[in-house]
Amino acid sequence: MTHTPQIAVHPDAQEMARAAAARLITRVVEAQTSRGSASVVLTGGRNGNALLAALAESPARSSVDWSRIDLWWGDERFLPEGDPERNATQATGALLSSVPLDPERVHVMPAAGGRWGDDADAAAAAYAGELAAAAGPEDHGPVPAFDVLLLGVGPDTHVASLFPEHPGVREEERTVVGVHGAPKPPPTRISLTLPAIRAAREVWLLAAGPDKAEAVALALSGPGEVQAPAAGAYGRSRTLWMLDRSAAARLPRDLLPPPAVS
């Protein structure tokens, strides 16, 4: 890895979600204080949604200026708008509908049946264009330098919708790709690529539960990103793995920090 990852281990999934929410609030406030706005890439799945639910419940959420935050997504299930399986639909229910966001700054990935019909590749190219339009000269690339990019880690080490040995994980040029034949349903998706993920200032990887222990141990043991996509996800200045004890159970002791204090 380019950046040595930091590892934080929490007693359980609920405590991990609360800690991640608290960290995210702090990081967003710091970015807004220093630059006037903040940008965050959201992730779906049980850990991503648990973080958003913890944010919704946090009294400290009022310290964020929600009108000055850009929200992006790391991946999306290419399903019709409003489908309950879409990450954006779940995020809206968990948090977004309850905070005063600027709708122009909520960058939802295209839905199936919309402007791009059933063409996930065209929809991915459109999202890449939206990212490029939001990138400034200071970002030195085709996507903004996100303040925090959140990723859930799958039991097979996938992140976003980049699956082991799949074409998307090998992409080196495009920032967003259509994913076809994904090994978990639905098979058609849209995903940021590793080059886009690595543009983030900070990348946070979330994993909780015993079903994630093997994936966490594998990704942190130094394999190639084609075999373990999570191993290729890192930030420009910081890479943080947030785990609960069961997800950290197979890590070697030399990688484990002291248990996080809740």
- In DSSP notation, the chain reads --SPPEEEEESSHHHHHHHHHHHHHHHHHHHHHHHS-EEEEE--HHHHHHHHHHHHH-GGGGGS-GGGEEEEESEEE--BTT-TTSHHHHHHHHTGGGS---GGGB-PPPPBTBTTBT-HHHHHHHHHHHHHHH--GGG-SSS---SEEEEE--TTS-BTTB-TT-GGGG-SS-SEEEE-S-SSSSS-EEEE-HHHHTTSSEEEEEE-SGGGHHHHHHHTT---TTT-GGGG---SSEEEEEEETTTTTTS-GGGPPSPPP-
Check which CATH number belongs to the domain holding 68 and give it: 3.40.50.1360
Q: What is the pLDDT of residue 226?
A: 96
- Which tens digits make up the pLDDT trace of 139-157? 889 999 999 999 999 999 9
In a domain, 82, yes or no: yes
Q: What is the pLDDT of residue 255?
A: 79
In a domain, 239, yes or no: no
In a domain, 234, yes or no: no
In a domain, 241, yes or no: no
Q: What is the pLDDT of residue 1?
A: 41
In a domain, 93, yes or no: yes
Q: What is the pLDDT of residue 254?
A: 76
In a domain, 96, yes or no: yes
Q: What is the pLDDT of residue 258?
A: 60
Query: Mean pLDDT of residues grouped by 10 in the chain (262 residues)?
Result: 82 97 98 97 96 97 98 98 98 97 98 97 98 92 96 98 97 98 97 98 98 97 93 97 97 73 48
Q: What is the pLDDT of residue 241?
A: 98
| Structural domain for 114, as ranges | 11-224
In a domain, 127, yes or no: yes
The tally of domains found in the chain comes to: 1
